[in-house]
Amino acid sequence: MLLIHCPYCGEDRSELEFRAAGDAHIARPANIAAISDEEFADYFFLRDNPKGLIYERWRHIHGCGRFFNAVRDTVSDKFVMTYKAGEPKPDLSPAPGVAPALPADSRPVETYEATEGRAE
Amino acid sequence: MTGANRIAGAGRLTPAKTARFSFDGRSYTALAGDTVASALLANGVHLMGRSFKYHRPRGVVSAGPEEPNALINVSRDTARSQPNVRATVQEVFDGMKVGSQNRYPSLSFDLGGVNDALSPFFAAGFYYKTFMWPKQAWASIYEPRIREAAGLGVSPTEEDPDHYACRYAHCDVLVIGGGAAGLAAARAAALSGASVILADEQPELGGALHFDTGAEIDGQNGYAWAQKTARELVGMENVTLLSRTTAFGYYAQNFVAMAERVTDHISRPEANAPRERLWQVRAKRVIIATGSIERHMVFADNDRPGILLASAARTYLNHFGVAVGRKVGVYTAHDSAYEAAFDLKRAGVSIVAIIDSRMRPGEGLLEQARSLGIEVFTDHAVIATSGRLRVASMTVVPNGGSAKRKFTIDALITSSGWTPSVHMFSQSRGKVAYDAATGRFLPGHYVQDCVSVGTCNGTDDLQAILEEATAAGVKMAAESGHDGAAAATPAGRNLFAWTGGMAGAAYGAGPDDSVKAFVDFQNDVCAKDIRLAVREGMHSIEHIKRFTTNGMATDQGKLSNLHGLAIAAEALGRGIPEVGLTTFRAPYTPVTFGTLIGHARGDIFDPTRKTPMHAVEEANGAAFEDVGQWKRAWYYPRAGEDMHAAVNRECRTVRTSAGYFNASTLGKIEVVGPDAAAFLNLIYTNSWDTLKPGRCRYGIMLREDGFVYDDGVVGRIAEDRFHVTTTTGGAPRVMHHMEDYLQTEFPHLDVWLTSTTEQWAVIAVQGPKAREIVAPLVEGVDLSNEAFPHMSVAEAKVCGVPARLFRVSFTGELGYEINVPADYGAAVWEAVAKAAEPFGACPYGTETMHVLRAEKGYIIVGQDTDGTLTPDDAGLAWAVGKKKPDFVGIRGLKRPDLIREGRKQLVGLLTKDPNIVLEEGAQIVADPNQPKPMTMLGHVTSAYWSENAGRSIALAVVAGGRAKLGQTLYVPMPDRTIAVEVSDMVFIDKEGGRIHG
Amino acid sequence: MADPFATAARRPALAAHASGAARASLTPAGPATRLSLRAKPEAVPALSAALGLDLPTQPKRAARQGERHALWLGPDEWLVIDESEAPLLQALDGAGVLHSAVDISHRNAAILVSGAGAAAVLNSGCPLNLSPAVFPIGACARTVLSKAEIVLYRTGETDFRVECWRSFAPYVLAVLAEAAAEV
């Protein structure tokens, strides 16, 4: 059971109090009624499913009730950081030759092969 | 007398305290504190089980949780019966019944033992290769027979009458393991001021100090120091000491699951005491002090009863006062077995010989053996044993030689060295590293905030262990914010080093394929099986594990993993670290389902939600149905009525007089703020600006993709206040959906949402007499059609309490919905019942509600829609504001697939035979004679007998349905094909006059 | 119109008998007026003045004035409880600032958990850290107890108030009672 830092409550709380709410930083187009089919598909249906860092929305539904944003590593399932809704998307991409700007407690990406052995 | 093998003066149990128990029907006496294993050994019983595959007779191997063989069934009574309990862990209580497993008809004569004679046919991978063909035989013969033969133990047949507790706990420092290292670490952390939880799986703390009587700490016997330290810790307010508690799972962010055995050792537990308690601990820091597990020697026929680990023999002697035999042989590759031999010898047991596979035992051991009169054969091997139900002899040769010597023995103790217990560290996702110098895997790269101390960290010397543990306790406390008084490091001294020994097969354990040198006792895996796996092309240790099942039994290979790995590495011609260790997984030891379930069973498995009127409805004989977590009154049968009759009567009564219905479960949301209407404009397809206070409107809510999400009546209480209703099942998700849009897409709006579902008890009064029934109860509202027409809402007093009164209808009749604060619901319901009586009106349940609304073609979202219907598909296009610039779903509705011709549309169906009621979910076709698979046009969503229409009615989704009005379609069923005519959705009062009553 | 019936009687969600064991007692709380109060930060002073207590603006904190309590549930959300059943909606009528006040007096029921084992009883289903350092007197939080949502409020060293929705109250009480019997 994970701990998730709620940026509104200012503390780590049990995963049991939270609910995931899909990808973050996908703004509903202001002129949504006028957008093309392709633009609507992009907005509503298509998601990246990255291996590594993903920007997500979570809700502290059994806590303060707020939606907020989180950066999570889809490989390690680790929350890298959380921040309030409306705050800008943090840039966690590493500069060339520099280690990623992850918190000190994060760890190298763990692959299935490394954990389970290689199927040969 | 508690057994012939109990040595007077030896051990720590109190002779005065005894307990009676039975094993396979025979009665034995144990001492308080005995495990089943120690008590049986005291009585000379080594044979405690049969192996899984070959059904070979097996005795106890260990004295701890790593036990692979002595799995027993323990029961208090017929319901309290648990299979696969380790005899080495289970403490004896008075009156306990113990049974052996995996044997028929008896433990000493087991028909399944024929598998052993047939063992050449049961080589590793046997199952994968043998049961391949014919294909049909798999389901009919192979699988049922294998399932019958497989599995250990017998599940209890009755429901478990015990209860189980659970507890979340937080601490600064969690210490896993209460041996010398764990105790020293916990004490240091606690003295620094940290909150500490110390968990140990044994009844008393001390770990290896149970047997290692050579260890001294702070000038006293190690075990005595452990008890003293444990008492000190128990007395500290910031320490929780949990004995009989196994940390079995280590999860992300220092979350550790532990199982506490609360009453399994007590003869007559208190009624309230749980059997086991699940601890879910969140620790800032974890100190892993899990010690080491001794490995057996891998040699021919090393599985006979009476052959056991040297440390186990020492535990049985030094803690339980039990000699494992009278003529004991020793076969070892490690110094620690010498200590066991010396202890036994000093207790009066004959040590027949020490066979040491090494050339040079540790310093001074040979001299000490000589002085005790024990013969030692170095550089020798045991190549055979005899004895069917108990070991009787061992045959010894020089390593590489053939000159045999045979020794008569009644027990054989072995040790090939110690495996650091890195399970918890590995579960924390830390990476183990192979230490070539000492030939063992040790904690390497740490992933979580934890540290390993003691022998599980490869620290051998007791003084070094105590220093390391004390330092770790201080450091972990400091890292969790506590740096109070530092503890002095205890001074320790021990007699042997934990390092050294060997892994893999000893001389004489092959390569001859007929030799059964067991690596994994529980799964009957021999050294030859691992070699075979390699020969057959398995090169990954994970494949070898699965092919041979080595380490896959309930003990998870605590004894066998390293041996198996060493044998595989040798066969592969690669080094041990290159072959690599398999992954350790939770649980460390088996955990009962009860522990995992905790209190979530029976009445509190899940919340059962009841409305404020539930008790009154129950008293009136209502039958209830489950709607999510809610209990809703389904129908109200009168004497002699079945459901059908009751529903028909209720339906008739509502349309001829009136009925009253408990609608309390309907979701309700109060939408408040100056932008409330603007917000609802965005959430619903309808427009809300024109709705005046005191009026209601039916609204539809879409998802962004254009499909119907929920519906309900919304009343405007004031300019800035709306009373929104949702479906019963949709209440939580609609609230979540609205909050989502409000917080993240429309945060500029000044409006707030509050769930009021449970604030209001709701009584719907429906039917031509509804006004006459309701009027006398209502103060402050003129109920005339002119003053309070259909779709009105007003704040009023009903039965003297503040209420919200709605003039709405889900039946097509004149109707009111009385909302009163929930605590008043029951009393107002009774008042309505009293007022209704003179009119012959009756209460009605959800079934009648369903029929009445279907008669009027009112849809139920989630029944007549399934998340793929647009408002137009559902015949509700009128509810979509055509001029609105925006609402959730506005763009989705314009998608090409949502506006194409021929979409499935909701229509009515009339069976040609009016007496046939269709089945909900039944498929609809145009031509019942077309070849299969037929082209399905749609399906029935609602179907009822309508007493008021005098025939069956149905709603259905049909492709291009509204263009098919009047056409005949067909519903093919297994036994017949039903002809139906497509109709509109209104079956009663097509003009709709009654609602305006 | 004359009312031929006496004013309807209240029937609370939980019968008013206490249960529990030596280390933790469980008592259904009496009726109280309750508000769900929602407002932006700028409205807090006026609303505080109207209610006669300082609405807490720190997470997890409650304010108390006599029998009136205001519990911070979220950055714009408070649960206001008046155990003397004083009218709360009316108190806010003249506040003159933008807010939402919704009467939820009957939506919630409350259970008082008291005794040396109270925290342990709650921790049988609630994952919060209830140590006094992290959850002191006056702390409150919306959280979960097993499969129900609750609002937990520490009113004393060994005293807690558990608020939950009405229909969940029997379940919450049963879970607490099972734990109270074993702590």
Question: Is residue A93 over pLDDT 80?
Answer: no
DSSP states along B67-120: -SS-EEEEESSSSSEEEEEETTTPBP-TTEEEE--S-SB-SSSBGGGHHHHTGG
| pLDDT score, position B382 | 97
Contacts of B819 in chain C (CB under 8 A): none
Query: Which residues from chain B sit within 8 angstroms of residue C11, using beta carbons?
Result: 612, 615, 823-827
Which residues in chain B are closer than 8 Å to A40, comparing Cβ atoms? 891-892, 895
CATH code of the domain made up of B165-292+420-493 = 3.50.50.60
Instruction: Collect contacts of A40-44 with beta carbons under 8 A, ≥24 apart.
Output: A40/B891, A40/B892, A40/B895, A44/B704, A44/B705, A44/B892
Of B81-90, B127-136, B274-283, the poorest mean pLDDT is in B127-136
Q: Is the pLDDT of residue A75 over 80?
A: yes
pLDDT of B485 reads 76
Residue pLDDT, tens place only, B620-670: 999 999 999 999 999 999 999 999 999 999 999 999 999 999 999 999 999
Inter-chain Cβ pairs, chain A and chain C, closer than 8 A = 42
| Cβ-contact B523, B58 below 8 angstroms | no
Block residue for tokens 């054989």: B412
C48 vs B553, more confident: C48
CATH of the domain at C52: 3.30.1360.120
Q: Is the pLDDT of residue B682 over 70?
A: yes
Query: DSSP of B4-54, one letter per residue?
Result: TTBPTT-SSS-TT-EEEEEETTEEEEEETT-BHHHHHHHTT--EEEE-TTT
Token pair, residue B83, equals 């299979």
Distance between C86 CA and the closest CA of chain B, angstroms: 16
What pLDDT score does A106 carry?
A: 42
Q: Enter the ipTM.
A: 0.96
B896 touches chain A (CB under 8 A): yes
- Residue A105, pLDDT > 80, answer no
> At residue C133, what are phi and psi to the nearest 5 degrees?
-70, -35
Interface test with B, best of C77, C93, C171 (most B CBs within 10 A): C171
Tell me if B165-292+420-493 shares its fold with B901-997: no
The answer on pLDDT for B192 being more than 70 is yes
Q: What confidence tier does B107 reach under pLDDT thresholds 50, 70, 90?
A: confident
Q: Where are the domains of chain B?
A: 18-122, 165-292+420-493, 901-997
Smallest Cβ–Cβ distance between C75 and the set A8, A11, A16 belongs to A8
In this predicted structure, the answer to whether residue B168 has a pLDDT above a threshold of 70 is yes
In a domain, C115, yes or no: yes
Determine whether the interchain pair C74/A13 forms a contact, defined as Cβ–Cβ distance below 8 Å: no
pLDDT of residue C4: 44
Q: Nearest residue on chain C to A64, judged by CA atoms? A: C74
CA distance B696 to chain C (A): 19
Residue of A nearest to B887 (CA): A33
| Mean pLDDT of all residues in B519-545 | 93
Q: Taking all residues of chain C, what is their mean pLDDT, rounded to a whole number? A: 94
Domain presence at residue C63 = yes
Q: Please state, in angstroms and rounded to a whole number, the distance separating the CA atoms of residues B28 and B40.
A: 8
Give domain A1-25+40-92's CATH architecture.
Answer: 2-Layer Sandwich (3.30)
What percent of chain B stands above pLDDT 90?
87
Considering only CB atoms, which chain A residues are within 8 Å of B580? 117
> What is the mean predicted confidence (pLDDT) over B604-619?
97
Q: Give residue B673's region: left, alpha or beta (phi > 0; psi -120 to 50).
A: left
Asked if B824 and C129 come within 8 Å (Cβ–Cβ), the reply is no
* A89 near C CB under 8 A: no
Give contacts of C142 with chain A, Cβ < 8 Å: 62-65
Long-range pairs, B636-644, Cβ under 8 A, ≥24: B636/B842, B636/B843, B636/B844, B636/B845, B643/B847, B644/B945
User: Token pair of B85, please?
Assistant: 């309990």
CB contact under 8 A, B165 and C166: no
Please tell me the predicted confidence (pLDDT) of residue B126: 64
A33 in contact with chain B, both atoms CB, cutoff 8 A: yes
Q: What is the pLDDT of residues B556-578, one digit of tens each?
A: 899 999 999 999 999 999 999 99
Contact partners for chain A, using 3 or more CB pairs closer than 8 A, are B, C
- Is some CB atom of chain A closer than 8 A to the CB atom of B598? no
* Structure confidence at residue C8 (pLDDT): 86
Q: Say if the Cβ atoms of B541 and A117 lie within 8 Å.
A: yes
Q: Which domain holds residue C86?
A: 21-180
Beta-carbon contacts of A20 under 8 Å, excluding residues fewer than 6 positions away, are A56, A57, A58
Q: Which of B771, B661, B793, B784 has the alpha carbon at shortest distance from B714?
A: B793
* Distance, CA of B845 to CA of B857 (rounded, Å): 18
**Where does the pLDDT of residue A120 fall: very low under 50, low under 70, confident under 90, or very high at 90 and above?**
very low
Q: What is chain B's Cα-based Rg? A: 38
Put simply, the answer to whether C60 touches A11 (Cβ < 8 Å) is: yes
Res. C21: pLDDT tops 80: no
Across the interface, whether the CB atoms of B754 and C134 are under 8 A apart is answered no
Across chain B, mean pLDDT equals 94
Q: Is B618 on the interface with A (CB under 8 A)?
A: no
Question: According to the model, what pLDDT value does residue A117 have?
Answer: 45
Mode of pairing for the β-strands spanning B792-798 and B778-779: antiparallel
Reported as a pLDDT band with limits 50, 70 and 90, residue B134 is low
Position B373, amino acid: G
Helices H / strands E in chain A, number of each: 2, 6
Is residue C14 a part of any domain in this protein? no
Return the structure tokens found at B265: 């050792």
Per-residue pLDDT at A103 exceeds 50: no
* Cβ pairs B/C, distance under 8 A: 154
**A104 pLDDT more than 50:** no
- d(Cα B745, Cα B890) in Å, to the nearest integer? 15
- CB–CB contact C77 A1 (8 Å): no
Between the ranges B89-103, B508-522, B550-564, C57-71, where is the mean pLDDT highest? C57-71
Q: What is the identity of the amino acid at B262?
A: V
How many angstroms separate the CA of residue B253 from the nearest CA in chain A? 7
The answer to whether the beta carbons of residues B290 and B200 sit under 8 Å apart is no
Whether A9 contacts chain C with CB within 8 A:
yes
Q: Taking CB atoms and an 8 Å cutoff, what residues of chain C touch A67? A: none
- Record: contact C127-A63, CB cut-off 8 A: no
Q: Is residue C106 part of a domain?
A: yes
Asked whether residue C11 is domain-assigned, the answer is no
Does residue A57 sit at the B interface (CB-CB below 8 Å)? Answer: yes
C100–B604 CB contact, under 8 Å: no
What CATH class does B18-122 carry? alpha beta
Contact check, Cβ <8 Å, C5/B630: no
Cβ within 8 Å, pair A44-B447 = no
- Record the pTM: 0.94
How many CB pairs lie under 8 A apart between chains A and B? 66
Q: Which residues in chain A have Cβ-Cβ distances shorter than 8 Å to B539?
A: 120
The total domain count for chain C is 1
B901-997 homologous superfamily: Aminomethyltransferase beta-barrel domains (2.40.30.110)
Nearest CA distance, C2 vs chain B (angstrom): 8
**Per residue in B389-434, pLDDT tens?**
999 999 999 999 989 999 999 999 999 999 999 999 999 999 999 9
Mean pLDDT of B462-477: 97
Tens-place pLDDT, residues B255-288: 999 999 999 999 999 988 999 999 999 999 999 9
pLDDT of A95: 59
What pLDDT shows up at residue B991?
95
Q: What is the pLDDT of residues B795-809, one digit of tens each?
A: 999 999 999 999 999
- Quote the pLDDT of residue A76: 85
Mean pLDDT of A57-85: 95
The Cα of C131 is separated from the nearest Cα of chain B by a number of Å equal to 8
| Peptide bond between residue B105 and the one before it cis (omega within 30 degrees of 0) | yes
| Eight-class DSSP state of B667 | E
pLDDT-derived band at B116, boundaries 50, 70, 90: confident
